[in-house]
Structure 1
Amino acid sequence: MSNPDEAPQPQQPGSQPPQPGNVPPAGYQPPQGYQPPQGYQPPSQPGQYSQPGPGQQGQPGGFHFEMPTDGPRNFNDVLPQGGFSGIFKTMGLPTELKVSYFIWVISGLLGLLFGLIGLFAIIAAFAFMPGVAALLLVLLIISLAVAAAQIVLAMKMKEGKEWARLALTVLAAVSLLLAIFGSINAGGPGAGLGGNWFGFLVSAVAVVLMWLPNSQLWFKAVKGAV
């Protein structure tokens, strides 16, 4: 027969620590000497922001390249949304991408301008150096195509298209090849058309800015919002 003094007493409110996943009631005080389990984090108070820890979502991680999955499905997907009327609008872009975007657009516009000026010189060269002029014309057409493409791709990059960012990176590599080819012909008739090392260095800076951690996070945020 059990002693009445040994009968279990009813649990008093607050006598048991909260179990993982449960929210303690208001005013709860843990018993004296109680140690929370390893890894337990007390819940935040209403309106209190909890900073994510290292490695959690929202913190910039190391560089991790992935092939874009948002490639264009038709020709209309390549064209900028709304046309070229918003070519100088960069609302919502982080600073790194703003600088990169304007580098691509301004260098593309300058490339088109100088290319058209060079076209008149090449046409005049056909009168006395037709073979050389034909080669220069091919290089000029490639340069004009690259300049026009980088403007269009920069506007698509501004929309958060990862495939456009990758294409701009490839264009920077093409500009490197053109610079090398122009250096080989240094002093010859082709000098100055392909050997624009300054243009390549500017493109390299724009590429680096597109792949910085803050830019990476922006592209992921835009991709997740679609």
Structure 2
Amino acid sequence: MSNPDEAPQPQQPGAQPPQPGNVPPAGYQPPQGYQPPQGYQPPPGYQSPGQQSQPGQYSQPGQYSQPAAGQPGGFHFEMPTDGPRSFNDVLPQGGFSGMFKTQGLPTELKVSYFIWVISGLVGLLFGLIGLFAIIAAFAFIPALAAVALVLLLVSLAVAAAQVVLAMKMKEGKEWARLALTAIAAVSLVLAIFGSINMGGPSTGLGSNWFGFLVSAVAVVLMWLPNSQLWFKAVKGTA
């Protein structure tokens, strides 16, 4: 008859690492600093705590899992720290050949990007058409035509800038996103001044309230939580 004190005690979870060929029990946590013996193969689907991915994070752009319920993911504004240091930093990488390529972007940023690019190109087109009307107006109302010309030149500059900035935003540049937000505010000012000049020649984007509303939608999409997480992921891998 064996002594009860000499009976083997049940093994405590985590007291001894599993040996080769043994399957670790559910909830098993290896001791800190433990290295598995040579030749040990974990069972299929087993992940150590350090290998488990956290929800709401990008492993790389384009691979995103929605944050779990109760996890923070709302709006949080921070001043960008990736501002351009030279003129070359402002130009899109690879030129304008990849203008319509949006691989890796979340849906919100894809929609926002195409809004900026298409509205910018349309603004350039209508601005050039309006330029001919303003030139003809100089023969009849030179003072009003001069004001309209200034507004048109600003509108053309804004339209060209938003195309370039949208391409930089697509690269994950937070400063470009902030600049596009400022452009939306400039579009509002141009719309106000353009509406005051309703009796004069057309100034293109300057009198287009619809253009401002579209840019406002693009701004909101850039600052949604899913877009915020993508910018942080790109910034972390840069």
TM-superposed CA distance for 1:151, in Å, is 0.1
Most deviating of 23-32 and 197-206: 23-32
Q: Deviations over 1:168-220 (max 9, x none)?
A: 00000000011111222334446765221100000000000000000000000
Q: Deviations over 1:125-172 (max 9, x none)?
A: 111211111111111100000000000000000000000000000000
Work out the CA distance in 2 between the residues paired with 1:46 and 1:157.
Answer: 25
Contact 1:99/1:206 (<8 A) preserved: yes
Work out the CA distance in 1 between the residues paired with 2:4 and 2:16.
Answer: 23
Identify unmatched segments of 5+ residues in structure 2.
Answer: 42-52, 63-69
Q: Given the superposition, is the C-alpha separation of residues 22 and 142 from structure 1 closer, same or farther in structure 2, using an over 3 Å criterion?
A: farther
Other-structure match for 1:30: 30
Other-structure match for 1:51: 60
Other-structure match for 2:105: 93
Contact 2:148/2:200 (<8 A) preserved: no
Most deviating of 69-78 and 118-127: 118-127
Q: Between the two proteins, what is the percent identity of the paired residues?
A: 90
Contact 1:80/1:155 (<8 A) preserved: yes
What SS is found at the alignment partner of 1:38? Answer: coil
Larger Rg: 1
Q: Given the superposition, is the C-alpha separation of residues 154 and 28 from structure 1 closer, same or farther in structure 2, using an over 3 Å criterion?
A: closer
TM-superposed CA distance for 1:50, in Å, is 15
Q: Deviations over 1:16-36 (max 9, x none)?
A: 999999998899899999999
Contact 1:60/1:213 (<8 A) preserved: no
Work out the CA distance in 1 between the residues paired with 2:104 and 2:195.
Answer: 40
Identify unmatched segments of 5+ residues in structure 1.
Answer: none
Q: Deviations over 1:61-120 (max 9, x none)?
A: 221100000000000000000000000000000000000000000000000000000111
Contact 1:183/1:195 (<8 A) preserved: yes
Work out the CA distance in 1 between the residues paired with 2:117 and 2:59.
Answer: 40
Work out the CA distance in 2 between the residues paired with 1:171 and 1:52.
Answer: 26
Contact 1:60/1:214 (<8 A) preserved: no
Most deviating of 17-26 and 164-173: 17-26
Other-structure match for 1:83: 95
What SS is found at the alignment partner of 2:60? Answer: coil
Most deviating of 11-20 and 82-91: 11-20
Work out the CA distance in 2 between the residues paired with 1:137 and 1:197.
Answer: 19
Q: TM-score, normalised by structure 2?
A: 0.71
Q: TM-score, normalised by structure 1?
A: 0.75
Contact 1:119/1:140 (<8 A) preserved: yes
Q: Given the superposition, is the C-alpha separation of residues 191 and 17 from structure 1 closer, same or farther in structure 2, using an over 3 Å criterion?
A: closer
Q: Given the superposition, is the C-alpha separation of residues 33 and 78 from structure 1 closer, same or farther in structure 2, using an over 3 Å criterion?
A: closer
Q: How does 1:6-25 map to 2 (within 5 A)?
A: none
Give the CA RMSD over aligned residues: 8.0
Work out the CA distance in 2 between the residues paired with 1:38 and 1:59.
Answer: 39
Work out the CA distance in 1 between the residues paired with 2:197 and 2:61.
Answer: 55
Most deviating of 188-197 and 155-164: 188-197
Work out the CA distance in 2 between the residues paired with 1:155 and 1:188.
Answer: 34
Other-structure match for 1:160: 172
Q: Given the superposition, is the C-alpha separation of residues 67 and 207 from structure 1 closer, same or farther in structure 2, using an over 3 Å criterion?
A: same
